[in-house]
């Protein structure tokens, strides 16, 4: 596939994964339209970190996924859509479920309706491993039951099913990518790994919630490569594909790893405010990535140890961007 001949729209382009997907595709020569949620500060999020050589090559559109006109105007004329835009914080979804559902469900519907109207070549819809809830069996393949254990995960289940319905009802060329826990440089302290790293680097105590839950962590470069391979594969249309490392580690164990990498000894303290409601806790996530290997020829390339080293180094250099003393939801 010749990306230098393609025009792509990326929603959620100012976010952690979105900004790095923008950088990757723009670097490959694609004409990139970056859709960023409007704010009065003209804050384009992490797109501010784009290399200077790419800054003039990316068209930035400020808007809101809930505005069908804004979404339609952004989609007009593009060949491919990478739909990453969403409100993703699980604790925030407990506090403001309406906003999360409106953005993630209605926003996705707006993207799909406009994609259908403008007859785009392919839509890569972003799911999340959170739709599985805590594992009923491991490793988790794409046939695992879906469980809405938080308003966020419920909103993503709904969005996934709407995307599926547009493929089945209208023949819209959709592929759904389902990343497990992505981590790496640029990630906010909303996520657990930056939360741990910032506290390790700036203090002697790390305050966390559930230490025994396990996650399948995938380095952001591998996740971005997964997005691109899903877009390029003619076999991915109509499919849901897990992108995960195929290994799990507990929050306690990853805290110990980060402490060793940073060369610091810390104490771990549990804060009940950081615990999910009992029936909402996702205790275990472990990806079966067989489908990605078979269909996409995708495999994770960055080991957890190497990825953590890179992430610690980046956060250490950019620690002023974080507020370690605040629990960020």
Mean pLDDT of successive 10-residue segments in the chain (329 residues)? 96 98 98 97 96 94 98 98 97 97 98 98 98 98 98 98 98 98 96 97 96 97 98 98 98 98 95 93 97 98 98 97 89
How confident is the model over 26-39, as pLDDT tens digits? 999 999 999 999 99
The domain tally of the chain equals 1
CATH of the domain at 113: 3.40.50.720
| CA-to-CA separations, 46 to 73, 83, 125, in angstroms, rounded | 23, 17, 21
Q: How far apart are CA 84 and CA 28, in angstroms?
A: 19
Contacts of 259 (CB under 8 A, 6+ apart): 200, 265, 266
The pLDDT of residue 1 = 86
Instruction: Tell me the residue range of the domain where 18 lies.
Output: 3-187+218-247+285-302
pLDDT at 269: 95
Length of the chain: 329
CB atoms within 10 A of CB 162: 17
In a domain, 269, yes or no: no
Residue 135 lies in a domain: yes
> Is 307 inside a domain boundary?
no
Task: Report if residue 88 sits inside a domain.
Answer: yes
pLDDT of residue 247: 98
Q: Which residue has the tokens 């393949």?
A: 141
Asked if 19 contacts 49 with a C-beta cutoff of 8 angstroms, the reply is yes
**Angle between helical axes of 68-75 and 107-118 (0-180°, round to 10):** 40
Q: Which residues make beta-bridge pairs with 9?
A: 33, 81
Q: Name all contacts of 96-103 with Cβ < 8 Å and 24+ positions apart.
A: 97/151, 100/151, 100/152, 100/155, 101/151, 101/154, 101/155, 101/158, 102/66, 103/65, 103/66, 103/155
Is 110 in contact with 68 (CB distance < 8 Å)?
Answer: yes
What whole-number distance in Å separates Cα of residue 131 and Cα of residue 152?
9
Give pLDDT, residue 55. Answer: 87
Taking alpha carbons only, the member of 229, 201, 234, 203 closest to residue 298 is 229
pLDDT attached to residue 328: 84
Contact status, residue 6 vs residue 31, Cβ threshold 8 Å: yes
Q: What integer pLDDT is reported at residue 108 of this predicted model?
A: 98
Domain assignment of residue 205, yes or no: no
Residue 313 lies in a domain: no
Residue 203 maps to a domain:
no
Strands (E), the chain: 7-11, 31-37, 58-63, 80-83, 122-126, 174-179, 181-183, 205-208, 214-215, 217-219, 240-243, 249-250, 267-270
Q: What is the pTM of this model?
A: 0.97
Question: Is residue 202 in some structural domain?
Answer: no
């Amino acid at each position: 596939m010749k990306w230098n001949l393609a025009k792509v729209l990326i929603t959620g382009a100012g976010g952690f994964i979105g900004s790095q997907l923008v950088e990757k595709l723009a670097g490959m020569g694609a004409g990139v339209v970056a859709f960023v949620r409007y704010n009065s500060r003209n804050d384009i999020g992490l797109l501010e970190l784009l290399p200077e050589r790419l800054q003039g090559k990316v068209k930035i559109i400020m808007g809101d996924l809930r505005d069908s006109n804004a979404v339609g105007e952004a989609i007009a004329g593009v060949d491919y859509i990478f739909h990453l835009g969403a409100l993703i914080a699980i604790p925030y979804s407990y506090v403001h479920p309406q906003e999360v559902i409106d953005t993630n469900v209605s926003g996705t519907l707006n993207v799909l309706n406009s994609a259908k109207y403008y007859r785009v070549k392919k839509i890569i819809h972003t799911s999340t491993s959170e739709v599985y809830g805590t594992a009923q069996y491991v490793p988790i393949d794409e046939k695992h039951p879906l469980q809405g254990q938080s308003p966020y995960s419920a909103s993503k289940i709904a969005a996934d099913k709407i995307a599926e319905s547009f493929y089945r009802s209208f023949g819209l060329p959709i592929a759904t990518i389902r990343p497990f826990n992505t981590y790496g440089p640029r990630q906010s302290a909303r996520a657990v790994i930056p939360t741990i790293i910032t506290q390790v680097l700036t203090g002697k105590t790390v305050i966390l919630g559930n230490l025994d839950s396990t996650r399948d962590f995938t380095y952001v470069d591998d996740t971005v490569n997964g997005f691109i391979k899903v877009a390029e594969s003619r076999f991915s249309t109509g499919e849901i594909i897990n992108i995960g490392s195929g290994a799990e580690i507990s929050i306690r164990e990853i805290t110990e790893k980060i402490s060793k990498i940073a060369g610091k000894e810390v104490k771990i303290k549990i804060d009940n405010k950081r615990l999910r409601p009992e029936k909402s806790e996702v205790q275990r996530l472990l990806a079966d990535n067989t489908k990605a290997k078979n269909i996409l020829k995708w495999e994770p390339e960055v080991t957890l140890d190497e990825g953590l080293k890179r992430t610690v180094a980046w956060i250490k250099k950019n620690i002023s961007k974080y507020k370690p003393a605040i629990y960020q939801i």
